[in-house]
Amino acid sequence: MIAKQLLLPVRTKTTFYGSLQIQLRVIGALFMRDIIAKFGRHGLGFLWLFLEPMMFAVGVTIIWAYTSHTQGNIPVAAFILTGYSGLVLWRNLVNRLMAGVASNKGLLYHRNVKVIDLLYARSIMEFAACTISFILLSVIFSALGLMALPDDPLKTLVGWALYAWFAFAFGLVCAFMGSSSEIFDRVAHILIYLSMPLTGGFAMVTWLSPEVQNILLMSPLVNAMELLREGYFGMSVKAAYSVSYILEVNLCLTLVGLILVRSIKRQLIDS
């Protein structure tokens, strides 16, 4: 006796919609798994997701608030919070994507799980953690009277999203490099550290000399941070950025990243 389902016309190909459903399901499962793996079920549990970046940002804000100064009438706390939140997002996202493939190799044992799904799940988690931390700290700092809430929240969010998008696209390329070269794995942390000035967190571009400005504005992160800060501080800062430049770089880099990620599985298994 043959089961009914075997007698039905068999599907040789899944539709786009069918595949999308599978992919969303898999990303959801990976996301839940990552949360449990990272935070366990005990104590503060998943609160650590954003407590960790928050504590980091608070510590750094306190230190920097005493050691640095800003130009014009920008509150120091807000300036540091925006810059540092961006830096944490950049560093965490890239590091997590780079390490993401090798440490989850075993999950690829299930045919529905693709390398890109591992990377999506991690990116969503890291982005969510940093965003919640950023928003909560903005609310807390403003409640304490250290700063005002963003002047233009939408513009702030667009800047934040473009910033995260670049970090994600760059992370895709790093995920590929990390899984194909051991040397890259070792030097990447140094590169991320040295990239700090290019995140735009330390100063507004217009505060600097024209030569330095030209160099910094080649970094999409700097452009996105300028946009974010214009949204945050309104017209009290003079921001320099080009949204179309960020979009161009992000799109190209995402395309390259996706192509590279496709080839990771073959390398991983055969090595």
Partner 1 sequence: MIRLENISKHYETTRGDKTVLHDINLQIAPGEKVGILGRNGAGKSTLIRIMGGVTLPDSGTITQEMSLSWPLGFDSGVQGTMTGLDNINFICRIYDVDVDEVLPFVADFSELGRYIREPVSSYSSGMKARLSFAISMAINFDCMLIDEVLAVGDQRFKERCHEELLVKRKDRALVLVSHEPGMIREICDSAYVLVEGHLHHFNEVEEAYLFYTGTMQ
Binding footprint of partner 1 on the chain (CB under 8 A): 1-3, 5-6, 10-12, 22, 25-26, 28-29, 32-33, 36-37, 106-113, 265-266, 269-270
Per-residue b/e over 39-56, b at no fewer than 16 CB within 10 Å? beeeeeeeebbbbbbbeb
Minimum CB distance to partner 1, residue 31 (Å): 10
Judged by beta carbon, residue 2 or residue 144, the one nearer partner 1 is 2
Judged by beta carbon, residue 154 or residue 269, the one nearer partner 1 is 269
What DSSP designation does 105 have?
A: G
Tokens linked to 189: 């942390």
The count of residues in the chain is 271
Judged by beta carbon, residue 108 or residue 167, the one nearer partner 1 is 108
Minimum CB distance to partner 1, residue 2 (Å): 5
Judged by beta carbon, residue 107 or residue 174, the one nearer partner 1 is 107
Report whether 146 contacts 64 (CB < 8 A): no
The H or E element containing residue 44 is none
Tokens linked to 18: 């069918």
Judged by beta carbon, residue 27 or residue 129, the one nearer partner 1 is 27
Minimum CB distance to partner 1, residue 52 (Å): 19
Nearest 5 degrees, angle CA 261-CA 26-CA 127?
A: 65
Minimum CB distance to partner 1, residue 115 (Å): 12
Minimum CB distance to partner 1, residue 219 (Å): 37
CA nearest to 239, candidates 25, 64, 79, 5: 79
